Structure 1
Amino acid sequence: MTEQNRTPTTHIVSVGTALPGEPVDNAQLAKVLGVNEEWIEVFIGTRTRHFARDLGTGEVRWTLADLCAQACERALAGADTDPGEIDFIVLGTATPDSLMPATVNNIADQLGLDQVPTFQLQSGCAGAVQALGLAQTMIASGQYRTGLVIGGDVCSKHLDVHRDLTGAAPSDLVNFVLFGDGAGAAVVSAEPRGKAVAVRQVLNRFTGLGRKPGQVIEWFGLADRHEDRQAVTEDYKAIEEHVPVMAVEILWELLGELDWDADQLDYLLPPQLSGRMTRKITEQLDVPTALEISCVADTGNNGNALPFLQIEKLLTQMSAGEKALAVAIESSKWIKAGFALEKI
């Protein structure tokens, strides 16, 4: 194959992240919610998280667009890339600021970008991987050279911290301690410049046919906003049962597609559900030669920001020739996702 006809490889050139405000530890959260601090530490295993709204007043301090724009600016600076070089923007989120306009367009506006294709994929923990997969397809087409891939969520908008949680169902209560807010962005390019890593494979597959959702986030409009339905429902038992099994399946499927052996992996980016669940999943993945890259115990589960927080840590450690594999699972309607990176 000639150089001219070769399919361009997608490279992650740099990553930027944004976490709102100071970290909120379990003692602070337990006091606000009126729950047991020890229960949070034992059952969830997450130490701190960040919130885009003030826990005391409920005031929104950062929108999702604000956090994503901050992450993009940091990624652009890290890649020494002018915003005018960006050919497209893809956002993955489960919690857009509004149904319309699309949050991705408000991000573009904050960055001063115009006349570029924008895409918003509404998805849970797989959204960032889906966004990366779309970016890879666009760069592989040869029509686009450089883009922004963004993932972020502001989960706190769905949680009323002043609500009386006495007698709350576990599927309801868990959401108040599991999630956090944040955003991440990557500059992706056909050019292997700077400290780039090559995207070798992206997996994204719906596997939820006939299966009950493991998580539901409701949208309340004017007609139903005062109904008693939970805003967020988590079937934590189903997640505990199925996610570790799915993670192992994703690991071996990606290794098979790449013709890599498990002992060739230098780094492993496991699913970031909670500190406790991540430890359990990593044990079942059982890749002792690979260094685990995790962040959820300190950031909380901030959804589509998590892969970027992991990659940001990864990029400070990878050396030429090293390989990394990431596993992500969306339990809302069961999506297998993941990607493989190689330092060139």
Structure 2
Amino acid sequence: MQPVYVTAAAQCLPGPPIGNEAMADHIGRLSPEAERFGRLTLRQNRIRTRHYAIRSDGSSDWTVAKLAGQAVRSLIDGAEVARGRIGFLATATTQNDLMVPGLASGVHADSGLPPLEIASLQSVCASSVMALKAAALQVAAGEHQAAIVVGAEFSSRYFRPEHYRGTDTVQADGTLPGDAEFLRWTLSDGAAALMIEDRPAAHGLSLRIDWISLRSFADRFAPCMTGGAVHGTDGALTPWSLVEGGSAAAAKAGAFQLRQDVDALYRMLPVWMGEFMRLTDEGRIDPDAVDWFLCHFSAHSLREEMARLATKAGCMIPEERWFTNLYDKGNVGAAALFLLIDDLMRSARLEPGQRILCAVPESGQCIMAFAGLTVVGDKQ
């Protein structure tokens, strides 16, 4: 297997940054009580601004495929690689625009690329690492000289009041169940893409991909972040397609709302930390040797708990080495890791030889993903 490198990165963030004071007007107002819950959520996640692909009236010119396609076009325009060398495209998202076909087909159609091999990866945040590993292995095996990996999300299309009103989930005071309301004030939109090649860029810095690890713990946990199911009183999930009464009954029952069990999320933290410790014991991770820690987390409160557990376990990476953009760009799910990599590469803070550790915990049904990178090339 030959070495592979991230040689370029790009992103697409739709619309202007939306501050906290403008959030309710942009995604729509449900009730004063819902907005009170929203302010509490914002104090927990500490996100100050984010981007939405919807306008304040709920209309949009975007789709997930178009967001990803714009990131891919920007990537190609800024990269050194010729289009003819790009032979593979892998996409990552939580929810595609369509049930059929896959996202990669839509992104390929929007990208302007000629015929090539594609792969559509769908999970939640960790789908980014699934797509990254698929692309890296393709290039490492010599199947392709260059590949593109892109993550994209369009969560705000599910947050307008009309998506909830008339459903059984809206309570008498106009609020939603906490697991739905939390995501409404946390998730945002955007896309980011990476170029993966069998050689470093001729100019500037590249990131050598040293290793990638991803593990599912779905054998231990029920689904935590869900969409497309009706929640029973006993906690059981019924897929929308099996709801008696058809899709209309499923919609009324709230099947098409994004939900996240925050209590279950925190029960996953020790498992995620255990995976960190396993890789440390195996020698893949050396906390003292990490120069930049790119950890995707959905809220500042989660970051604090992760830091507490790492400190207790004696493997804490000093917080001055943590690089994050959560507070200014929000939680962009499957695009988050690639946004972090792009922002770090543009920051002028990288030096040849530095080591980067990427971490993506996913609450969908408990996944933990890591990647180790090394900065190579000449700084310009």
Shift of 1:198: 0.5
List alignment gaps of at least 5 residues for structure 1.
1-6
Q: Distance in 2 between matches of 1:282 and 1:289?
A: 8
The equivalences for 1:208-219 within 5 A come to 208-218=218-228
- The equivalent of 1:51 in structure 2 is 52
Matched, 1:278 2:303: yes
Residue 306 of structure 1 aligns with an amino acid whose one-letter code is A
Largest Rg, 1 or 2? 2
State the TM-score, normalized to the length of structure 1: 0.90
Q: Percent identity?
A: 22
Q: Distance in 2 between matches of 1:228 and 1:77?
A: 45
Residue 18 of structure 1 aligns with an amino acid whose one-letter code is C
- The equivalent of 1:192 in structure 2 is 200
Q: Which piece of structure 1 moves more, 245-254 or 139-148?
A: 245-254
Q: Which piece of structure 1 moves more, 118-127 or 279-288?
A: 279-288
Matched, 1:333 2:334: no
Matched, 1:304 2:330: no
Alignment match of 2:261 (pick from 224, 235, 242): 235
- The equivalent of 1:251 in structure 2 is 276
- The equivalent of 2:152 in structure 1 is 152
Compute the RMSD of aligned alpha carbons. Answer: 2.1
Residue 101 of structure 2 aligns with an amino acid whose one-letter code is P
List alignment gaps of at least 5 residues for structure 2.
230-239, 311-315
Alignment match of 1:19 (pick from 10, 13, 17): 13
Shift of 1:249: 2.6
- The equivalent of 1:206 in structure 2 is 216
- The equivalent of 1:262 in structure 2 is 287
Residue 180 of structure 1 aligns with an amino acid whose one-letter code is S
Residue 302 of structure 1 aligns with an amino acid whose one-letter code is V
Q: Describe the SS at the equivalent of 2:22.
A: helix
Native 8 Å contact 1:266 1:290 kept in 2: no
- The equivalent of 1:321 in structure 2 is 353
Shift of 1:240: 2.4
Q: Distance in 2 between matches of 1:110 and 1:260?
A: 38
Q: Distance in 2 between matches of 1:50 and 1:76?
A: 23
Q: Which piece of structure 1 moves more, 307-316 or 179-188?
A: 307-316
Q: Distance in 1 between matches of 2:141 and 2:179?
A: 44
- The equivalent of 2:236 in structure 1 is none
- The equivalent of 1:343 in structure 2 is 375
Q: Distance in 2 between matches of 1:12 and 1:258?
A: 23
Q: Distance in 2 between matches of 1:256 and 1:78?
A: 39
- The equivalent of 1:3 in structure 2 is none
- The equivalent of 2:321 in structure 1 is 291
Q: Describe the SS at the equivalent of 1:319.
A: coil
Shift of 1:104: 1.3
- The equivalent of 2:98 in structure 1 is 98
Matched, 1:10 2:4: yes
Call closer, same or farther: CA 1:83–1:111 in 2, change over 3 Å: farther
Shift of 1:74: 2.1
